[in-house]
Amino acid sequence: MKTRIMRYSGLLIVVLFVFALFPQSAATDEWSEYFEGDMDGWTVQSGNWTVTPDGTLEVNYLFQDVRNRIWHNSSLYEGAWSFDVYHPDADTYYKTTIFFIANETESGLIYGYVIQFDVNTISLLRRMGSNTANYWLGSIETEGLENTWTSIDVSRNSTGGFDVYVNATSFPTDPDFSAVDTEYNYSERFILEARVPVEGAQFDNIVVDDEPIERAQINDHTTPTTPTGTTPTGVGTPLDMTLLFVGGGVAGVVIIVAVVFMRRR
């Protein structure tokens, strides 16, 4: 009887030890979109949005006095958000808006965090319902971005710290501007919005990751000079040798316990 109890106890120890070393990873809400032929997963709320032959999302016609919106489910409020925006001319800068953290709504009452393009600035805002209820968190002055792609990377950590990178192509690098805000710690949607009656604004290479960008470390992300559907190249991660040593340790424990069982018998 003692032998059987010790055998079961030993097995339980091994199982608990293995689970402690290799915890079961929870499902993440990471997602990406490169618009390779379709808009699967996106819902058009207003306006006329299509995928171009080059593999980008384009607003074909912007209705006067209507906020043309399209959205994708997105529940991450900590991590990193990357996207490319194309403006054919300066007129399309005005109020092109990316709600990378937003609530679920069919009205204009959006709550969340926003990257907003204006004629000479790119800003990070906290949106508090109405489009006129914005809390400014930071911005960078820009010029000469028409007829080209602008690459944006936004990071948010667990304490509400934001880092915003504009056209970051050489690394390591510091963010263009930073802010801290903890007002909203939930998300349901990622929303794209264009607001002026000019055709041609495009979006591409949207990546939502659950890991914030480390300061002065960011994935290699080269901004295309012409509209394209190519995928940005990420930096490869080397094999973590720690897992090999841990695996060996688990095997050693299993062998030791097995020997003890045999001796007890």
Domain ranges of the chain: 2-23+240-264, 34-209
Is the pLDDT confidence value at 201 over 90?
no
Closest by CA to 88, choosing from 139, 141, 146, 44, is 146
Please give, one letter per residue, the 3-state secondary structure of the chain: CHHHHHHHHHHHHHHHHHHHHCCCCCCCCCEEECCCCCCCCEEECCCEEEECCCCCEEEEECCCCCCEEEEEECCCCCEEEEEEEEECCHHHHCCEEEEEEECCCCCCCEEEEEEEECCCEEEEEEEEECCCCEEEEEEEECCCCCCEEEEEEEEECCCCEEEEEECCCCCCCCCCEEEECCCCCCCCEEEEEECCCCCCCEEEEEEEECCCCCCCCCCCCCCCCCCCCCCCCCCCCCCCHHHHHHHHHHHHHHHHHHHHHHHHC
Is the pLDDT confidence value at 130 over 50?
yes
Contact 115, 265 (CB under 8 A): no
**Which residue did the predictor score with more confidence, 186 or 64?**
186
Q: What is the pLDDT of residue 238?
A: 33
Is the pLDDT confidence value at 199 over 80?
no
Beta bridge partners of 189: 73, 102
Q: What is the pLDDT of residue 154?
A: 97
Is the pLDDT confidence value at 227 over 60?
no
Q: What is the mean pLDDT of the chain?
A: 75
Looking at domain 34-209, does it have CATH number 2.60.120.560? yes
Mean pLDDT, to the nearest integer, of 155-176?
A: 89
